[in-house]
Structure 1
Amino acid sequence: MCSEIILRQEVLKDGFHRDLLIKVKFGESIEDLHTCRLLIKQDIPAGLYVDPYELASLRERNITEAVMVSENFDIEAPNYLSKESEVLIYARRDSQCIDCFQAFLPVHCRYHRPHSEDGEASIVVNNPDLLMFCDQGEGCKCFLRVETSE
């Protein structure tokens, strides 16, 4: 069993083109973490989209290992004509932290309906599902602590 998992999501950059950085830190009780792979299933709300062509380019350049699960969606559609989508991302070991993984995902804001207030729209990115596989059969039932930042 592991003591806890800390999940931290950060949205980097401003404007319509942003990056979602997901960091995961495991508790000390997983001994052979280097034999483990971490898959992140991230739901993308209707107010955002991930460009599958951009993901393919990033995979080719070995920048990120991510793939769209959702099919047949229009990346040019506005928020009010869009549905949620889903992305699978293999997290990479963090060279700065022995018990940590991180994943990078470029996300883009969709156009929203105009309104007369301050001109800002809020989009909530929910916490992802974490799926782990370890060669040594290390299983863990863990407590997840989520840290959010903007």
Structure 2
Amino acid sequence: MKVGSCDANYDDSDSKISAFCSFKKYIMQSYYAKYENLLDSDFQDFIGQELPFGMCEVLPHDLSLVLKLSILHWNLIGHGSHRHLTSSIRVNIKPESISELPTHHCEVIIIERLPSGVFADPFELQHLLQRGVYSNIAVFGDTNLESPSFLSNRSAVEVHMDIGHNLFLRHAEEFNINVEIPLHARYPPLNENGYWEVKFGVPDLFMRCSVEGKSHDESCLYKVSEITGSKLTYGTVVWKIPSGMKTSTRANI
């Protein structure tokens, strides 16, 4: 796992730290400040080059020594053009010998990079936030709800889940985080098979911890580079969206 940090006295001459410290709540907000559209290659470059992993000074650098995150399941449920993308993430905390750590508060961040054939309704997500289902949730990218697939760009949903205070000082503990994102199908292009396959990529997992102290307030960002015990790959979750058939359309002309 990778880690980064910023505090109130960061050096803004370092572009990586400046980019990380300047984004407010969301990682994707910082991404779209630099890139116009969501491309997997651009996103990987952004994660690798723009965020200051490896600079946290007050919390453990190697997150895998004290905590493991694993995706238990990742499914698409429901029927018709309205579905829910669900995932269950297990958090496994192992005893940590370091006892002299500052007070800190952590959250898990899940980013679902959606394919262009589906979208998340910002108003639905806002309703979930108002109900307190998540500590923060937002959609970024193409949020035009009326655009068909061939005219739309990709979007991403970023979910923040609170996992509490002093995570690195707890006794051995295991608990699950359940995430459910409502999605809608866009109008698909014609296809000879009568349906259009939309394939989902594996979600990106991060953890951010805010550190409180008399002399500083610091935020440490961890990237979960390897999802423990996961066999998930691109295309594990597929949504077959009904579409008009090219052959039948030609026959009617």
2:106 paired with 1:36: yes
- Counterpart Cα distance in 2 of 1:142 and 1:29: 19
Measured at CA, do residues 88 and 68 of structure 1 come closer, stay the same or move farther in structure 2, by a change above 3 Å? Answer: same
> Could you tell me whether the CA contact under 8 Å between 1:2 and 1:140 is conserved in 2?
no
Identity of aligned residues (%): 23
TM-score, structure 2 normalization: 0.48
Task: Give, in angstroms, the shift of residue 140 of structure 1.
Answer: 8.5
Matched residue, 1:74? 144
Measure, in 2, the Cα distance between the counterparts of 1:79 and 1:58.
26
Which residue of 2 is the match for residue 11 of structure 1? 76
Extract unaligned runs of 5+ from structure 1.
Answer: none
The runs of at least 4 aligned residues of structure 1 exceeding 3 Å deviation read: 2-5, 134-137, 139-143, 146-150
CA–CA separation in structure 2 for the residues paired with 1:58 and 1:68:
12
Mapped to 2, the partners of 1:49 and 1:3 lie a distance apart of: 32
Backbone CA RMSD of aligned residues = 3.0
The answer to whether the 8 A contact 2:148-2:188 is kept is yes
TM-score (norm 1): 0.76
1:112–1:30 distance in 2 versus 1, CA, 3 Å? farther
| 1:1-150 mapped onto 2 (5 Å cutoff) | 1=65, 4-7=68-71, 8-29=73-94, 36-64=106-134, 65-70=136-141, 73-91=143-161, 98-117=174-193, 119-134=194-209, 143-144=226-227, 145-147=230-232, 148=236
Q: Distance in 2 between matches of 1:28 and 1:62?
A: 25
Question: Which of structures 1 and 2 has the larger relative contact order (alpha carbons within 8 angstroms, sep 6+)?
Answer: 1
Structure whose CA Rg is larger: 2
Shift in CA distance, 142/41, structure 1 to aligned 2, threshold 3 Å = closer
Aligned residues: 143
Q: In structure 1, give the amino acid aligned to 2:74.
A: Q
Amino acid at match of 1:81: L
